[in-house]
Amino acid sequence: MSGFVLLARDLLDNNIWRMNSDLVRLWIYLICKSNFGDREYTYSRGATKVTVRKGEFLRSLRRIGEDCAYTGNNKLVVWSPSRISGMLNTLEADARIEILSNSSTLGTHLRVVNYQSYQDFASYREKELGTDAEQMQNKSNTVKAVNKKQVDALWEIYLEELSPKPPHPRLTAKRASALTALYNEQLSKNGSDPLVLFRQVLKAVRSSPHHMATRAYQLPESLFRNEERREQWTHRAVAKATATPHTPTVSRNWSVDT
């Protein structure tokens, strides 16, 4: 295999880096093996037909295990199909991939969420590359874009959804910064009431066994630590709200200071 893929340095700051090392290995494998070009490929066997588009991947679980085999403690480690299926489900629950179909003849068809953004140099020029001073200034400007009253409103909803009983976490500057970035990048641009959408985001978090199992994963500085995570959670919340009827929530009116 030749060529290259782009891998963001903030992978080291991401929650996946603190997961099982096999999960990190599988995630990087999927990034490397997904269809990187605009050309689409159609595979068929009998009546089954699958078209693989950019950012998608088709492979049987057995073959994935063979591809990712490694040597540990002087023995060959090959993941079982059930082990791979469980890891794929974890990545899907973490909003990193979407499992499109499973076929006994052609294999598992999946899509890497935000693949285009991962592999676009422009994404890194605009969001990642810059001096430490520039990044600190950008963070400072982001915090100023939403006033304290608005952040307090977001924090109140956060406590209602993820910390209804004491002891409650404190609203630190780091958490306020994460909530502000989420508001500016996602909540205010979706066409919905920002507070209603934020509550939907937190309900999506509550539906994730992985995140609800560890308290640290539920805190804003973990959930919304970078733009990728903020976008993933918002898209997941919108999709869940669209698919599941819900009772409308009374919204509060407030605006962004300019």
Q: What is the span of the domain harbouring residue 226?
A: 131-243
* pTM confidence score: 0.54
For 109, the enclosing helix (H) or strand (E) is strand 107-112
| CA distances to 30, 41, 232 from 201, in Å | 26, 35, 10
- Within a domain: residue 1? no
The last residue of one of the domains, among 118, 140, 161, is 118
- Within a domain: residue 221? yes
- Do 114 and 204 sit in the same domain of this protein? no
Domain count, the chain: 2
Per-residue pLDDT of the chain (258 residues; tens, 9 = 90+): 667 888 877 777 777 888 889 999 999 999 999 999 889 999 999 888 999 999 999 999 999 999 999 998 899 999 999 999 999 999 998 888 999 999 889 999 999 998 888 888 776 665 544 444 445 445 545 445 557 888 999 999 999 999 998 889 999 988 999 999 999 889 988 777 899 999 999 999 999 988 898 888 899 999 998 888 898 899 888 887 776 554 444 444 443 343
Q: What share of the chain is helix, strand, coil (3-state, %, to 5)?
A: 55, 15, 35
- Within a domain: residue 80? yes
- Do 110 and 188 sit in the same domain of this protein? no
CATH of the domain at 44: 1.10.10.10
- Within a domain: residue 105? yes
- Do 224 and 158 sit in the same domain of this protein? yes
